[in-house]
Every structure is written in C-alpha cells, then in structure tokens.
Amino acid sequence: MHEQEIQIQAAPPIGPEQAAEAERILHKYKAGKAALDRRLIDNELWFRMAHWKQYKNRMMEGKPQPSSGWLFNSIASKHADAMDNYPEPNVLPRAADDENTARMLSSILPVVLEQADYEQVYSDSWWRKLKQGTGVKGIFWDPTARGGMGEIAIRSMNLLMLYWEPGIMDIQDSPHFFSLSLEDSDQLAARWPQLRGRTGGTIDAARYIHDDSIDTTDKSVVVDWYYKKPGPGGKELVHYCKFCNGIVLYASENDPRLAEKGFYDHGKYPFVFDVLFQEEDSPAGFGYIDIMKDCQNSIDKMNQAMDENVLLASKQRYVLSDSAGVNEEELADFGRDIIHVTGRLNDDTFHQLQTAGLQSSSITYRNSRVDELKEISGNRDISQGGTSGGVTAASAIAALQEAGSKLSRDMLKSAYRAFAKECYLVIDLMRQFYDEERVFRITGEKGQNVFVPFSGAALRAVPAASVGGVELGSREPVFDITISAAKKSTFSRLTQNETAKECYQLGFFNPANADAALAALEMMDFEGIEKVRQRVRQNGTMARQLQMAQQQLARLTQAAGMVRSAGRQKAAGARTVRAAQSPSPTAAAARAMNTNTRR
C-alpha cells in the first residue's frame, strides 16, 4: 500500500486523464465555433472564384458558370495597400536609464523580424485577414533553431485550426486555447516512440475544399494545448501541453524547470488576432468577402444569363414539326449545301426560332451592381489610378486617391496595433530566452554596417537603489512601441518630398528664420515633423552661436585695435622726450668753439 501511494505521488501532473479532459473541452469549443468554420470554408471558395460548387441546383448542370473577378480584384488591391505600408517598429523608453537599450532594440527588432521571415508572414496574414476577417500570428520560441541555441519563430496561423472558449472577445480571457495541426504519422512515431501503433485520426479537423484530392489517412492530429492557472504571488501562469490521440508528448507542468514559472514568462497565449471588422462576443471578425459575396453572386448570375442569351442569339435554332419531313442531321450540319426534305414545308411545320438580344436596361442594371460592389468595398476606380468625372490634373487625381484611401488607412491602423502587440511578445521572449550574447548586423547612421552585441540581460530586472541598507526591490525596463511605414507608397513618398521642397522654398532651413519657422511648424502636422523641428532648432542654435562668435570677434578686434593705437601713442611720446633731452648739433658746435677760444 505504501509503494502504491508513492507511485501515485510520483505521477506527473499532466497525464492521459488530463489529456482526455482537454480533448473534451476541445470538442466543446469546436461545437461553438462550427458556424465560423463553415463560413471560413465558404469564403475560401469565393476567393478562388469556385463558389459555383456550393450551388446544388440541378438546372445549373451543363450550363456556363462564369465567375467575374470583381471581388478578387478588390481584395488584391487592399492587400497591395497593406504591403506598400509594411510596418517598422520604433522603441521608446519610459525611463531615462533605458534610453540606450531602447535605441538598440529599435535597430535589432527589424533584424529579428527579418530573420523570422516576417514579411512573408505579414503577407499571408493579410490575405487571411481580408478573406476571413481575421489574421492570426503566432510568436513562439523555437529551441531547435540555430543549432540548438534557439530563436524566435513567427508564423501565420490558420484560423480554421484554432479554438477558444465561445463568447469571449479577447483570447487572453479564455481558460484554454487549442492549436491543431496535421502531421505525418510515421514522422510522429519516429520522434515520439510512445505513439507507435497509436497514430491516426481521433479528432476530426475542419478542412478547406480543394480541387485536388488530399489524402489524410496517413496524418494524425496533434493538439497544442495552452491553458492558464494561478501561480505564486497571484501571478497568472500560462502552461503548454502537446498531445496526440490522448498521449501526452510534452507538458510544461511535467518539466521541473517550468512547473512553477509557466511556459512563457509573459503569461499570455502566444497568438495575436488582427481583426478587420469586429464582431461582438468573438475574437474573430468578418471580412470583405462576407459583405461582397451577395453582390458578387448577383453579378455572376446576371453574367450567366447574359452569356447564355448571347450564345442563343448568335446561334441559328429552328422549330421543327415531326411531320415536316426534314433531315435533322443535314439541317444541323452547317457544311452541307443541300438538305433533303420529304413533303412540303410551311411556316406551321418549320420556321427559325429568334432569340431577343440583350436589353440596355439589363446591362445598365448589371453595371449598377458592379458599381455597388466597388462602393461597398471602397475599391473605386480613382483609388486604383483611374480618372473620374473629367479629372485629369495629377495633383487632383492624387488628392482624390488620398481621400479614397481612408478605408485602407483604417485597416492599416488596426494592423499596426496588432504589430505592436507582436513586438511586445518578441521583446518578452528575448528577455526570457536570450541567455547567450548574440551579434546583430544593423545599419549605422551613415549607412555602414555596424555589428552590435546583445543579450537578454539588458531587458531583465535590475535591482533598485537601497535606502539605509534596505533594498527597494527591482525595476524591469518597460518600453513603448510606435509603428511607422517602412515601405511607403508612391503617393506617400511624393507627398513627403513635396512638403520638404515647400519648406525649403519658404526658407524654413535658413538659420535667420529659425524662430519664424518653428512657429509655423507648431501649427503644421505631417510625418517626420519632429525631425524637421529638430533640424530647424539646430540651425537656429548654430546661427546664434555664429552671431555670438562674430560679436566676440568684433569686440576682440576692437580691443586689439585700441591696444595697438595706445602702443603707437606711447612710442611717439617716448621719442619726443628723448629728442628734448638730447642737445642739438649747433649748440654742441658752439660750445666746442667757445672752449677752443679760451684756450
């Protein structure tokens, strides 16, 4: 009995029973997300212009199924706007002691993102955001990267394979979070021997509809289970467990190093949701396909009817009675010059069937639906460089394009907010896992390559000052992150260049006009205005320093002139005194003559 109690105490905290309970919760979450999964699968078909597969009307079989690309063009245009404004982080300190660290992070963060292939992740996430309404990125620590040193990994997640508690707005409020993946059964068994003979599919994962036949019989569903529980001191801990078919492959609670501190020190699920149009009581939103597909459906049905009408109107068709005696094969063969007829033909037994052509009202209505789709998606002609209403001036077109891009700017702001959250998670992972010093190649102020060493020690808590021998605790560096566009659009660059030229022409950079230029800049607002203000202040400071130096030089020159003048006057006075004291030659000669006479 005593040995049995010891075995029970030695059992790991996370075992088959806990995995089975987690699987039960997963099925509950799946049931609550079933409607969203169906919408995601349907939207993917609409994006690939394969939505006709969803129609089960037998009358459609054998008929043309046109799919116009208005919906696709709108989404592709918005994706191009997003890539034109690729984000770039700028880290700001909250304390003066952290200014150097913040400056280093501003240069190192883009390098870390580049090494994680973030631009591709950003692009994939934006496609999913526009199609599904939500783009999700996962920010993980990969301990196997860099030969075992480990590195931060960022991935674009498939929303169809993510599950959370129904009815919440923020995934961080969910007690459990699941991320599913389909992996090869043989590779899983080779990596985890305990799975041999126990692979396969016990969890039904939602799948998209593809043209190709995708066989998943050799695949197994692996579940990444994240959950939260209270830790020491009331801190909320996030733990991680990977299991397959009820078999635990890894659990952070079973790891002695992480059992008391959690899998990630930041205590958050490593996922960031970037929502396009927010829905209540759900962390996922809806996208442009959801608001455009009804209009696109109407356009495609009208296109189908119009295409069929054009085909019928351009083809010769006949009404033929059985008693007409016309050879149908010869009549249908347009290469024959002679058609045999038995008996006599008249209008009652044989005549041509005429199909009325397209009405102008039908074409007008169809075009109005196209304009409606452009309007509701904000994909007007002017936003794509087209002209409208007789506008031909380049400046007027640029102004209209800027006014028409407010929807894109709103989308970018939400994406930038999500990007800031991702950067905070990256900094937290650097703080936790960058134990060894790493060297990053960054671009210096003059464009040269600079190699900067960095480790997580610069981000960790440092002891605060002590008073009377009593330590006041520790302080962890905290930063603010602002986001700007690293790859600006052509219009943004043009606008900024024009602003710079206008400031130059107005004399803003003339040192003599520094005060007036600063007063004008206080009432202006454009990107990069702080750098302009700083340069104008520097010019004004240098102008004042130069003026003071010139005044001092003038005073020194005047003083030196006065000294030289006084010296000249003094020298002249000395010569006068000497001249008065020395006898003249005539008097000396007279004295000499008098002396000789006496002799």
Is the pLDDT assigned to residue 155 strictly greater than 90? yes
| Torsional class of 22: left (φ above 0), alpha (ψ -120 to 50), beta (otherwise) | alpha
SS3 string, 65-96, reads CCCCCHHHHHHHHHHHHHHHCEEEEEEEECCH
pLDDT band (50, 70, 90) for residue 395 = low
Pair 176, 166: CB distance under 8 Å = no
Q: What letter would DSSP give residue 321?
A: -
pLDDT band (50, 70, 90) for residue 186 = confident
Q: Note whether residue 444 is domain-resident.
A: no
What average pLDDT does this structure show over 348-377? 75
Structure tokens at 427: 């900094």
pLDDT of residue 210: 63
Q: How far, CA to CA in Å, does 148 sit from each of 151, 170, 257?
A: 9, 34, 18
SS3 string, 382-422, reads HHHCCCCCCCCCHHHHHHHHHHHCHHHHHHHHHHHHHHHHH
Pair 432, 265: CB distance under 8 Å = yes
pLDDT of residue 353: 64
pLDDT band (50, 70, 90) for residue 180 = very high
Strand partners, 466: 471
Indicate the residue type of 4: Q
Q: How far, CA to CA in Å, does 570 sit from each of 291, 356, 561, 566, 573?
A: 99, 122, 14, 6, 5
What average pLDDT does this structure show over 368-390? 67
pLDDT of residue 6: 44
User: Would you call 62 helix, strand, or coil by DSSP?
Assistant: coil
What average pLDDT does this structure show over 244-270? 92
pLDDT band (50, 70, 90) for residue 473 = low
Residue in 224, 244, 249, 196 with CA at minimum distance from that of residue 14? 249
Look at strands 449-454 and 438-443 and give their pairing: antiparallel
How many angstroms separate the CA atoms of 116 and 119, rounded? 9
How many angstroms separate the CA atoms of 382 and 410, rounded? 18
Pair 220, 205: CB distance under 8 Å = no
Q: Is 320 exposed, middle or buried (0-12, 13-18, 19+ CB in 10 A)?
A: middle
The single residue listed with the structure tokens 């969890």 is 203
Is the pLDDT assigned to residue 431 strictly greater than 70? yes
Q: Note whether residue 555 is domain-resident.
A: yes
The single residue listed with the structure tokens 């690309």 is 69
Is the pLDDT assigned to residue 58 strictly greater than 80? no
pLDDT of residue 267: 92
What average pLDDT does this structure show over 130-135? 93
Pair 350, 331: CB distance under 8 Å = no
User: Among 114-128, 139-153, 272-286, 518-532, whose mean pLDDT is lowest?
Assistant: 518-532
Is the pLDDT assigned to residue 496 strictly greater than 80? no
The answer for residues whose C-beta is within 8 angstroms of residue 145's C-beta and 6 or more apart is: 151, 153
What average pLDDT does this structure show over 83-97? 89
How many angstroms separate the CA atoms of 440 and 104, rounded? 10
Strand partners, 121: none
What average pLDDT does this structure show over 187-209? 79
The single residue listed with the structure tokens 């992972």 is 429
Which of 269, 289, 309 is where one domain is finished? Answer: 289
**Percent above pLDDT 90 for the chain:** 28
User: Among 108-122, 232-246, 363-377, whose mean pLDDT is lowest?
Assistant: 363-377
pLDDT of residue 293: 84
Which of 230, 263, 289 is where one domain is finished? Answer: 289
How many angstroms separate the CA atoms of 199 and 208, rounded? 23
User: Among 230-234, 286-290, 337-341, whose mean pLDDT is lowest?
Assistant: 337-341
Q: Which of 214-228, 322-336, 501-515, 555-569 has the highest mean pLDDT?
A: 214-228
Q: Note whether residue 97 is domain-resident.
A: yes
pLDDT of residue 165: 95
How many angstroms separate the CA atoms of 282 and 165, rounded? 9
Q: What is the pLDDT of residues 224-242, one digit of tens each?
A: 999 999 988 788 999 999 9
Structure tokens at 524: 């202006």
How many angstroms separate the CA atoms of 529 and 524, rounded? 8
What average pLDDT does this structure show over 42-67? 66
Pair 370, 292: CB distance under 8 Å = no
Is the pLDDT assigned to residue 59 strictly greater than 70? no
Q: Note whether residue 156 is domain-resident.
A: yes
pLDDT of residue 254: 93
Q: Note whether residue 172 is domain-resident.
A: yes
**Sequential DSSP letters for 482-504:** EEEEEE--HHHHHHHHHHHHHHH
Identify the domain containing residue 38 by its residue range: 2-56+69-289
What average pLDDT does this structure show over 336-359? 70
Pair 461, 63: CB distance under 8 Å = no
Structure tokens at 107: 């240069």
Q: Is 29 exposed, middle or buried (0-12, 13-18, 19+ CB in 10 A)?
A: middle
Taking the CA atoms of 276, 282, 284 and 290 in sequence, report the sign of the dihedral they define.
negative
Q: Note whether residue 15 is domain-resident.
A: yes
User: Would you call 583 helix, strand, or coil by DSSP?
Assistant: coil
Total domains in the fold of the chain? 2
pLDDT band (50, 70, 90) for residue 62 = low
Strand partners, 273: 136
Q: Note whether residue 112 is domain-resident.
A: yes
Which of 270, 289, 308 is where one domain is finished? Answer: 289
* Residues found in the chain: 599
Structure tokens at 162: 């993510």
Q: What is the pLDDT of residues 563-579, one digit of tens each?
A: 787 777 777 766 666 65
* Span between the terminal Cα atoms of the chain, in Å: 160
Is the pLDDT assigned to residue 3 strictly greater than 50? no
What average pLDDT does this structure show over 530-546? 75
How many angstroms separate the CA atoms of 101 and 461, rounded? 13
How many angstroms separate the CA atoms of 338 and 329, rounded? 12
Pair 135, 126: CB distance under 8 Å = yes
Q: Which of 58-67, 105-114, 314-323, 337-346 has the highest mean pLDDT?
A: 105-114
User: Among 130-144, 407-421, 478-492, 550-564, whose mean pLDDT is lowest?
Assistant: 478-492
Is the pLDDT assigned to residue 584 strictly greater than 60? no
Is the pLDDT assigned to residue 398 strictly greater than 90? no
pLDDT band (50, 70, 90) for residue 396 = low
pLDDT of residue 20: 92
The single residue listed with the structure tokens 């043989």 is 186
Is the pLDDT assigned to residue 438 strictly greater than 60? yes
Angle between helices 70-84 and 118-132 (to 10 degrees): 140
How many angstroms separate the CA atoms of 382 and 441, rounded? 42
What average pLDDT does this structure show over 263-282? 93
Q: Note whether residue 401 is domain-resident.
A: no
How many angstroms separate the CA atoms of 274 and 121, rounded? 13
Whole-number average pLDDT of the chain: 79
What average pLDDT does this structure show over 378-387? 58
Is the pLDDT assigned to residue 5 strictly greater than 50? no
Stated pTM of the model: 0.75
